[in-house]
Amino acid sequence: MCGIVGYIGDTVAAPVIFESLKRLEYRGYDSYGFATLHNNEFFVKKDKGKISDASFESFPEMLPGFMGVGHSRWATHGIPSEENSHPHLDCKGNFLVVHNGIIENYQELKSELKRNGHTFKSDTDTEIIPHLIEEFAELGFEEAVKEAVGRLKGRYAIVALSRNSDKMIGVRRGSPLIVGIKDSDKREYFLASDIPAFLDHTNNVMYLDDDEMVIIDKNKRSIKFHNLEGKEDVEKRLINIGWEAGQAEKNGFEHFMLKEIMEQKDTIMRALSQDEKSIESMAKEINNAFGTFFTGCGTAGNVCLAGEYIFSKVAGKHINFTVSSEFPNYHHFLTDRTLLIAVSQSGETADVLEAIESAKKKGVKIISLVNVMGSSLDRKSDYSFLINAGPEKAVASTKAATSQLALITLLAYACAGKLNEGKRLLIETASKVNDMLNPRYEKHIRRLAKKIHRKDNLYIIGRSLNYPMALESAIKIQEVSYIHAQGFAGGELKHGPLALIDKGTPCIALVAEDEVKNDVISNAMEIKSRGGYIIGVAPENNEVFDYWIRVPDVGDASPIVNIIPVQILAYHLAVLRGCNPDYPKNLAKSVTVK
């Protein structure tokens, strides 16, 4: 959720931290803060609001020094305010902390610390951490941090500084924390909750695993890792991430969301760049498994539900889908012959990681479809496929979703022994998406957005493979435009949803050239006969449509092409309603808390 940046190097730290933090705004944008350490003194700047609205030129002289931290907040404890913004300090101002995650036992610890004479200035759970470090200060900085985090329950990533030390300490349990290393004569080090923070400087990274600590020494220009439980040193591999800085920039687009929608011209094809032997090997694992599950959250969850339909239709296989937050409730059915396919853009989603942890306890094999190399999900899986979408910074997932759909479809065809047929279909689909995404197509959808952007309610129907895309369409519209949108299976209209239709109510019908086409058209007619305004997303026009958005006929890949125009519509609805589609209210990109 929150964005964390730490820096040690030969460059004045504050400008580096400021720019790095702006690149993490998608992780939290209700408040922000910076701190640098210079001549054994902390210099702190905090404020409410979005960091992108701040001007660094107004306060550079306030933050001297060559090491420091920054934080962009997504509030969990305490309202967005300057007082609740990070960093937080202890009573004496000797220790300073930024934090991502939730401390589950903070009330108990806060009461204990108050009894010991500590005073607090915020409503956050984070503020207890520097005070706990203060409690153990006589042990030295490193040991004090170890003792303090040993008292914490929950999922967190923490970066701590001491006024009397030139070391920066990071600790991780359940929330991502990544080290970036810039090789030069005098090394520069970064600590961040996501790679784009330092991608302008380096793409060489080391990952912290759970219950590990990293200590970066400014004077020695050294780095070491400890296991908190065993207290021993841990060797880490330096990994080169194949992302480039330009992939994480807007590159002339007004918003990241539109840029990432348009990148689907390329990203679907990149998702297919998989080793065929690996695909066939995974297909064999799926075919031989005694019970297979898909799991994911939000958009990835809808992709998984679509996968359930795709595997049934293409491969004749029953694969169960369970949303990750509910998956642990199914542990009774799991055995060492079960297979779990986990889908996540970030690879750091807390509920997904908890789902695989519960599965691993029963000996379940894990296959992951993930976008971030070296992420927690990637490293914890038995087999991992990268979807190769590149950095996705808009909170609303677009290109990652279609890449996940493409890879799941490819796996389904491989399970059916038709890998080459599936690959041909998806290459053709990628080519047709390239043709779709042109200025005229976008303009046509924007005209629709102008017609309906003042509506309060919007509904989407689909059947078969496109029922999950109706659910996903609703998520897209909800999260960026704040219109109340709901997706339904077309056949369920008569069981309640028709009561919601008034004259002029917009309803999107997702149609494919498949065996349920006529049924969806009939459902759309039911809505229209009650006054609904029908928006058809379909390969062919139909008299029932009041507005038609053409999509290509791509057979079993229809979920990929049918969701894209709704992504564009959601984007333009958001802009016309004065919403920022990159940073929807109350949401953040990577949900690393339960």
Kindly indicate the confidence band of residue 263, based on its pLDDT and cuts at 50, 70 and 90.
very high
Of 250-254, 275-279, 381-385, 408-412, minimum mean pLDDT range: 250-254
201-235 per-position pLDDT tens digit? 898 899 888 899 999 999 888 899 998 887 678 88
Q: What is the pLDDT of residue 402?
A: 98
Q: What is the pLDDT of residue 243?
A: 67
317-350 per-position pLDDT tens digit? 999 999 999 999 988 889 999 999 999 998 988 8
Q: Angle CA(450)–CA(456)–CA(457) in degrees, nearest 5? A: 100
Report whether pLDDT(246) > 60: no
Dist. CA 429–CA 558, nearest whole Å: 9
What mean pLDDT do residues 254-276 have? 93
**Residue 447 burial by CB count (10 A; 0-12/13-18/19+): exposed, middle or buried?**
exposed
Distance of CA 155 to the CA centre of its chain: 16
119-168 per-position pLDDT tens digit? 999 988 899 999 999 999 999 999 999 999 999 998 889 999 999 999 99
pTM: 0.77
Residue 136 neighbours by CB distance under 10 Å: 17
Kindly indicate the confidence band of residue 377, based on its pLDDT and cuts at 50, 70 and 90.
very high
Mode of pairing for the β-strands spanning 222-227 and 212-217: antiparallel
> Contact 213/180 with Cβ under 8 angstroms?
no
Q: What is the pLDDT of residue 199?
A: 86
Query: Coil, strand, or helix at residue 87?
Result: coil
Count of positions (residues) in the chain: 594
Dist. CA 195–CA 179, nearest whole Å: 9
Q: Angle CA(394)–CA(348)–CA(47) in degrees, nearest 5? A: 55
Residue among 22, 110, 259, 589 flagged as catalytic = 589
Share of the chain above pLDDT 90, in %: 69
| Neighbouring residues of 242: CB distance < 8 A, sequence distance ≥ 6 | 203, 373
> Contact 17/34 with Cβ under 8 angstroms?
yes
Q: What is the pLDDT of residue 493?
A: 84
For the question of residue 2 being annotated catalytic, the response is yes
Burial string for 6-29 (b: 16+ CB within 10 Å, else e) reads bbbbeebbbebbbbbbbbbbbbbb
Most confident of 28-32, 177-181, 238-242: 177-181
What mean pLDDT do residues 98-102 have? 89
Residue type, 323: V
Dist. CA 175–CA 154, nearest whole Å: 10
Dist. CA 205–CA 207, nearest whole Å: 7
478-501 per-position pLDDT tens digit? 999 999 999 999 998 888 888 888
Closest CA to 296 of 361, 406, 377, 403: 377
Q: Which domains, from first to last, does the chain contain? A: 3-248 (3.60.20.10), 275-434 (3.40.50.10490), 438-582 (3.40.50.10490)
Report whether pLDDT(522) > 90: yes
Most confident of 27-41, 115-129, 248-262: 115-129
The two tokens of residue 428 are 């053709």
Q: What stretch of H or E contains 443?
A: helix 439-452
| Neighbouring residues of 148: CB distance < 8 A, sequence distance ≥ 6 | 129, 132, 133, 135, 136
| Neighbouring residues of 571: CB distance < 8 A, sequence distance ≥ 6 | 255, 257, 258, 261, 480, 581
Q: What stretch of H or E contains 302?
A: helix 298-310
Residue among 2, 297, 507, 579 flagged as catalytic = 2
Mean pLDDT in the chain? Answer: 91
Share of the chain above pLDDT 70, in %: 94
Q: What is the pLDDT of residue 231?
A: 66
Kindly indicate the confidence band of residue 589, based on its pLDDT and cuts at 50, 70 and 90.
low
Residue type, 528: K
Dist. CA 488–CA 480, nearest whole Å: 20
Of 114-118, 255-259, 535-539, 586-590, minimum mean pLDDT range: 586-590
Q: What is the pLDDT of residue 452?
A: 97
Q: Angle CA(429)–CA(435)–CA(438) in degrees, nearest 5? A: 135
Report whether pLDDT(245) > 90: no
Q: Tell me, letter by letter, the H, E, C secondary structure of 471-521.
A: HHHHHHHHHHHCCEEEEEEHHHHHHCHHHHCCCCCEEEEECCCCCCHHHHH
The two tokens of residue 280 are 């066939």
Kindly indicate the confidence band of residue 83, based on its pLDDT and cuts at 50, 70 and 90.
confident
Kindly indicate the confidence band of residue 594, based on its pLDDT and cuts at 50, 70 and 90.
low
The two tokens of residue 350 are 């807390």
Report whether pLDDT(460) > 70: yes
Helices (H), strands (E): how many in the chain?
Answer: 16, 25
- Greatest CA separation for the chain: 79
508-519 per-position pLDDT tens digit? 999 999 999 999
Report the DSSP beta bridge partners of residue 160: 97, 169
Of 69-83, 335-349, 407-421, 512-526, minimum mean pLDDT range: 69-83
- What single string gives the DSSP state of each residue in 163-210? TT-SEEEEEEEBS--EEEEE-SSS-EEEEESSGGGGTTT--EEEEPPT
Report the DSSP beta bridge partners of residue 181: 189
The two tokens of residue 147 are 């003792």
DSSP 564: H
Q: What is the pLDDT of residue 236?
A: 86
Query: Coil, strand, or helix at residue 110?
Result: helix
The two tokens of residue 462 are 């689909």
Dist. CA 183–CA 189, nearest whole Å: 9
530-581 per-position pLDDT tens digit? 999 999 999 999 999 999 999 999 999 999 999 999 999 999 999 999 999 9
Q: Angle CA(404)–CA(572)–CA(492) in degrees, nearest 5? A: 60
